[in-house]
Structure 1
């Protein structure tokens, strides 16, 4: 039977897996596979594995439990191996890389930050501060504009939105970057202008969280900042 792999930890890492169950209908029993300095947490893999809420939750619960006791390399959902021996072989062959990565992530957690700005407030700001946009908008509203004015205004506003949001994202990242060892940006979705993960050591945890609250407060009520709880460092494995 195929083996589902949750995470890799150091061999001395506490393995308090009691009360947890793995992926699959009914929850597979968790077990470990060790080789040298490393241990992988695994279970039997269901034949019909899908990213269902229950299975995603089970995967995350294993990571969070291990994280509470030390450093963990959280693996992506759905990672499989042929059997326990195949897992052991990977641990042996990639031992140096895994040990180095555990060392680099020691004492660290991941925070993921998303941010958006109220669309109406952003549009109002552009029309107040950009002379060309304000002029075109006034001409359209008064009926004095030519037939191409709405398209021109739309293109101007879209360009201004992109420029302003890129500047905002850069400013937020620069404010928080001194308190993170690494950061990884991803493509924002929906109305967000920012989607970024920070790798934060516990020595900088309070400073990072305090600064994030300060930045959000300074930017005002037109902005919505959503910061995750401390996560296993998925983005930095």
Structure 2
């Protein structure tokens, strides 16, 4: 039977796992495998692990419980080992790496900030602010057939969109990053232009949340920010 691994913690982490059930259709008991300095939080699994809703929720519930008592080093969904001895061997062989990684995140949680902008409103702003873009748009709407007009308008709008997204991203990072121990930029998806993760000390959470609230209130019209957290520090695992 294989072993599913949720996280690595320091040996002195309380690991209050009572009442938790793990990944897998048989809802296995969650437990820990210990070495002299570290623990791995695990459960038995006898099937191929797939990201089903119930299993994703079980994985996250274990990490949320661990986060209540200290910062774990979370593993991504789906990590398995052959047995307890294999887990223990990895902890012992790579103990220096795990201890350094845990030291880097101790006392912190992750917050994620995504930002997007209403494209229709942004295009209207560009036309209002740029006489050249407005003039090109009016000529095209009036029936001008020169393809160079559409090309120039498209290039002008694209450059302006990029510039405004960059400026807003810089504004968000400048406001929030100083309150974090580290920050990481991820590739945004969908309509978002910013996907920012921040490693925030627990004793600075209140100030961080206040700063985000002020930013969301004062940021340009049409820009929306979405805040998720506190989370285990997934983005800061080496």
TM-score, scaled to structure 1: 0.96
Q: Is residue 2:41 matched to residue 1:41?
A: yes
Paired position in structure 1 for 2:164? 164
Cα distance between partner residues in 2 of 1:220 and 1:161 = 13
Number of equivalences: 237
TM superposition shift of 1:48: 2.3
Paired position in structure 1 for 2:126? 126
Cα distance between partner residues in 1 of 2:144 and 2:6 = 64
Cα distance between partner residues in 2 of 1:117 and 1:144 = 30
TM superposition shift of 1:221: 4.7
Cα distance between partner residues in 2 of 1:64 and 1:196 = 21
Gaps of 5+ in 2: none
**Higher deviation after alignment, 12-21 or 216-225:** 216-225
Q: Tell me if the contact between 1:2 and 1:81 (Cα under 8 Å) persists in the aligned partners.
A: yes
Shift >6 Å, 4+ stretches: none
TM superposition shift of 1:79: 0.8
Cα distance between partner residues in 2 of 1:235 and 1:185 = 9
TM-score, scaled to structure 2: 0.95
Paired position in structure 2 for 1:202? 202
Trace 1:44-83 onto structure 2 (pairs within 5 A): 44-83=44-83
Paired position in structure 2 for 1:99? 99
TM superposition shift of 1:132: 2.3
Q: CA RMSD in A?
A: 1.3
**Higher deviation after alignment, 144-153 or 117-126:** 144-153
Paired position in structure 2 for 1:233? 233
**Higher deviation after alignment, 127-136 or 66-75:** 127-136
Cα distance between partner residues in 1 of 2:129 and 2:221 = 19
Q: Is residue 2:186 matched to residue 1:173?
A: no
SS at match of 1:18: coil
Cα distance between partner residues in 1 of 2:46 and 2:215 = 45
Q: Tell me if the contact between 1:136 and 1:145 (Cα under 8 Å) persists in the aligned partners.
A: no
Paired position in structure 2 for 1:109? 109
TM superposition shift of 1:121: 1.2
**Higher deviation after alignment, 160-169 or 216-225:** 216-225
Gaps of 5+ in 1: none
Paired position in structure 1 for 2:11? 11
